Amino acid sequence: MTDRVARGLLALQVLLLLVGTLMPGAWRSGAEHRLHAPFPVSSWAHFVLFAGMGLMLSVRPLAWPTGGIVRAALALALLTEGLQFLAIDRHPRLLDVGIDMAGTVFALALVKGRSLCTVHR
């Protein structure tokens, strides 16, 4: 994967995150209701998006240091929760920041676990 493609995929994930964050509460509730999911879809979406961004940032060609990934994820998680003040019928929750960070830590653990299991020749 080229650097340009990796940055494009990362930008797409951030865009999806921002669109979902600024979606009015009634729209979000309606979408979740139509899916008939037994769990909150928006929480899983955040987990998956943050895990995807963590993976993209931790492997080549981007390969950010772990501390930088955690700081960027925390800043983005806090930003998206703060933006919910601007969305109709949405309220920020610290639990959501934890869900976002759990996605990031999960991705970093996957990458670290893979590197520990890989034989370097």
The position carrying tokens 């921002």 is 18
Asked whether residue 121 is assigned to any structural domain, the reply reads: no
Q: 115 pLDDT exceeds 80?
A: no
Q: 12 pLDDT exceeds 80?
A: yes
As given in the structure block, the two tokens for residue 118 are 């890989």
Check residue 120 and give its pLDDT: 63
The position carrying tokens 């993209």 is 56
DSSP tag of 66: H
> Mean pLDDT in the chain?
91
Asked whether residue 105 is assigned to any structural domain, the reply reads: yes
DSSP tag of 62: T
Check residue 121 and give its pLDDT: 63
Q: 27 pLDDT exceeds 80?
A: yes
Q: 70 pLDDT exceeds 90?
A: yes
Q: 111 pLDDT exceeds 70?
A: yes
Q: 41 pLDDT exceeds 90?
A: no
Q: 61 pLDDT exceeds 70?
A: yes
The span from the CA of 55 to the CA of 78, in Å, is 19
As given in the structure block, the two tokens for residue 83 are 């933006």
Instruction: List the domain range (segments joined by +) for residue 29.
Output: 3-114
Asked whether residue 120 is assigned to any structural domain, the reply reads: no
Coil, helix or strand at residue 107: helix
Query: What is the reported pTM?
Result: 0.88
Asked whether residue 78 is assigned to any structural domain, the reply reads: yes
Q: What percentage of the chain carries pLDDT values higher than 70?
A: 98
Number of structural domains the chain divides into? 1
